[in-house]
Structure 1
């Protein structure tokens, strides 16, 4: 194996280079343990079937729920293990030797450009589809890692590709291997790819269409561009799956290691349906972020299925509507916040009065403050339904967040600052503005906003401001346990101060002569009487 000692011959340049690359990712110790476990002692090589079993999605105690996908999805997952081995490892007659094992890991998990890694992932998808007898119109020009891929994808193919990525993400959170895999609704992501990559959209209405049955062709070149610009962390699902499977293989049989692994049973979708932030929307947001936010969303939604209660800070239907109720729950939270708005608007254009429902989101990197000016250091806007889009910072301005309550202790103001919550734009021309009653939201054209990148926040958004009725507002805390503990301490401190202010010294008002009631009655009976204040 590659674990050399003083008695072993000098390492070959090929082996040394492979091990150096693996060392940069910190995976060399795991690879050494995995090779020792899988390798045949006689040939000092890993049999193909051992490695295929390691990367196979099929495991004892695992089942699939295929309500949201067609019958080909389980067949694709059955072929995942063999396709990964075929794509990344080179085998000789005895199996896969140590050098090829390390080089195979480096092919999948070493640091490369996003486009090259996406090419690798598409190769795996093509190979899985071929083994599952699924017809695809995709072909690479050469075997080079950075060569161009030609052809197109159908919306159903995009959904299957996204579903495989979801399955790999779910598997990484379910280390014990059991559970019922249920693919969430990913139609908003598929529609995003379709609307971004297809020029002719006259054949369907994004507000009301069965996206998986569409026959529009999505050029694979444009699809690659869409992935890199919209969901850049999507191919990372493959790296995480690859690395996690090796970790599981090394830890198998170790009681202490397996007892600490995260595991979920059958995923329930009951609670998820009651929340704006469904599993599919949460996962879509997570694969746009390369930060701790990604891990926190995955922990709360991919692992548990419906979000962890401790992450939910505010929900208007539960905690009450209005800015004051909202503020009483978000105040003191110093961490990333995800604010979601479910709204509906009527379109009376050309006699069409259909109610159109949509969901918007805003991600802030820190908590909210009561200010009459914009503030913040970073953030993103999201269109979550019916079409998914992300609007990261443009770098031109820093009007990320505006959150202002009624001023206290101030006199008359000729031009008072607006009361509400807003994102982007400027005072009076906010890109998203939620009124203080949480009854209406105003969405303006991106021309008024230089903080976030341009684009429509919902389909067919015009140049004029759109006023929509709010049906629900949610706030999810993504700062982890530390941010929640700080907020709890803040709330306890505020409650203590409030109780102290409410306390009355009963001895001061024990007799009638000193009571405020007598003073008021004396003033009403003879308001002109001269009185001297005792000091």
Structure 2
């Protein structure tokens, strides 16, 4: 009786745990889909492997890091062995499968997903024979699958880890699929990896491995530099690119969904978009789009993630100074009426040679606004972000203390007298006269001020070696990308057509409305000017 009661109690406990694990897993993927994948447990290493492709960086020479393709080939087996081997060892244990899925896909505290990602990276490197300074230390408790990741990441290893994460995003369910007839080479498409130098530098500067004010200009990943400890890398991910911690969870879910679509078609990937790096002709490169997507926690993250794979849609480019011309009036003619989120990027170089900034150094900054543009003499907006795009990536979130998000002021056709005229230009943060970023109305000069003048956005420098004094720089190019989709663009087109009609009506002169010239006040005034002594008879 005692044995039966004990057996019944154990069965009840297992059943309760299974119900709990199912509820937890259902929050990420539908249970019928998970059961379908579970029925193919022996194929998990191949299911969790990315589609075959030849990856190369955009830089020259276009050669991938040593053993990078071997590392990607070991990615699927590494995930399967780390999280799903318990279920396979138990002869197809559904509960063990759920435990493994929840271990890598369920919601957890911010540091745990990063630790799991590093654990997978270390296991894949070990399987591929690639160098790796990260090790996993299992817990002393045999019944506990936990542990901690220790070690140090060299700059080159950070770049490889970031590229691995991008490939995981590339191979997700949003990747394009085509027939094998479009494949090139040895049956594998060639995929260009985005430039991640600005992200590697951001991690190194955050950890103090590279000096922010001296070592960033002309820095290369292959150059010698001190590594970053795992704890410092984790802190950088949580504070700067939190989306990186979700890469593993998203990848596993995308691979599980993809294996149920069509395994044959799923293995072939389009080369029409991913082989050419066309988006890098813009200031918004694929690498910068990916960095922005990793830093955001809203729906715009998906827009930038897609841009990092396919490049931005040229139809979303509202304004480009090199094409549309420089100046606030030309800028306004392109963005007026656009009532949706937009990204403003500019490329500039410091030419003052002052004590607080190096001369002839290019850098890029931007602002992401979630509202449309307005011509006002005051600040407006409810939410926005500032970012540094290169040479170091940073994203400065709203502080919540003030809402001086954006300022856009230009003269209209109807001008009035102003005792204290407001500055003409485009600005973000700070206050009028002390803007965090101010672009003049000619779009020839930009002024960057220290964060002490600004309570709208978080503290932090936007350019290397910024210092406390205002920095003036010459603008090379300005881009504005509309992020509101086709619906918002169509609404802007309707607005512009309506404004064109109104402008045409204002310019049109109705001659019949002037009546007879002989009876007009204009003729009387002309006669008086020509002969002021002539007596004019007044009709009574």
TM-score tier, shorter chain, comes to 0.7 to 0.9
Superposed, 1:208-287 pairs within 5 Å as: 208-252=218-262, 265-269=272-276, 271-287=278-294
1:58–1:78 contact (8 Å) kept in structure 2: no
* CA apart distance, 1:348: 2.8
Whole-angstrom CA distance in 1 between matches of 2:102 and 2:284: 36
Whole-angstrom CA distance in 1 between matches of 2:222 and 2:160: 10
Q: Equivalent of 1:503, from 489, 508, 522?
A: 508
Give the SS at the match of 2:256. helix
The structure-2 alpha-carbon separation of the partners of 1:320 and 1:455, relative to structure 1 and needing over 3 Å to count, comes to: same
Structure 2's unaligned 5+ residue stretches are 1-10, 184-188
Give the SS at the match of 1:241. helix
2:121 aligned with 1:125: yes
* CA apart distance, 1:76: 1.1
2:300 aligned with 1:293: yes
Superposed, 1:480-499 pairs within 5 Å as: 480-499=485-504
Higher mean Cα deviation, 458-467 or 133-142? 133-142
2:87–2:97 contact (8 Å) kept in structure 1: no
Instruction: Tell me which residue corresponds to 1:70.
Output: 65
CA distances 1:27-75 after superposition (whole Å, capped 9, x unpaired): 3232123334x2xxxxxxx21xx1111111143xx33225264122111
CA distances 1:402-454 after superposition (whole Å, capped 9, x unpaired): 11112554532221111111011111000100000000000011111111111
* CA apart distance, 1:21: 1.0
Give the SS at the match of 1:462. coil
2:119–2:149 contact (8 Å) kept in structure 1: no
* CA apart distance, 1:166: 0.8
Computed over aligned residues only, the root mean square deviation of the Cα atoms, in angstroms, reads: 3.0
Whole-angstrom CA distance in 1 between matches of 2:385 and 2:378: 19
* CA apart distance, 1:18: 1.7
2:409 aligned with 1:404: yes
2:50 aligned with 1:53: no
Whole-angstrom CA distance in 1 between matches of 2:295 and 2:88: 40
* CA apart distance, 1:102: 2.5
How many aligned residue pairs are there?
A: 509
Superposed, 1:409-424 pairs within 5 Å as: 409-424=414-429
2:440 aligned with 1:435: yes
TM-score, length of structure 1 as denominator length: 0.87
Give the SS at the match of 2:339. coil
* CA apart distance, 1:171: 1.4
2:375–2:409 contact (8 Å) kept in structure 1: yes
Give the SS at the match of 2:388. strand
The structure-2 alpha-carbon separation of the partners of 1:199 and 1:213, relative to structure 1 and needing over 3 Å to count, comes to: closer
* CA apart distance, 1:212: 2.8
Instruction: Tell me which residue corresponds to 2:16.
Output: 13
Superposed, 1:46-195 pairs within 5 Å as: 46-47=41-42, 50-59=43-52, 62-66=53-57, 67=62, 69-89=64-84, 90-93=86-89, 96-143=92-139, 147-172=147-172, 173-176=174-177, 179-195=189-205
2:49–2:77 contact (8 Å) kept in structure 1: yes
Higher mean Cα deviation, 17-26 or 474-483? 17-26
Instruction: Tell me which residue corresponds to 2:431.
Output: 426
The structure-2 alpha-carbon separation of the partners of 1:270 and 1:254, relative to structure 1 and needing over 3 Å to count, comes to: closer
2:372 aligned with 1:367: yes
The structure-2 alpha-carbon separation of the partners of 1:420 and 1:203, relative to structure 1 and needing over 3 Å to count, comes to: closer
Instruction: Tell me which residue corresponds to 1:28.
Output: 31
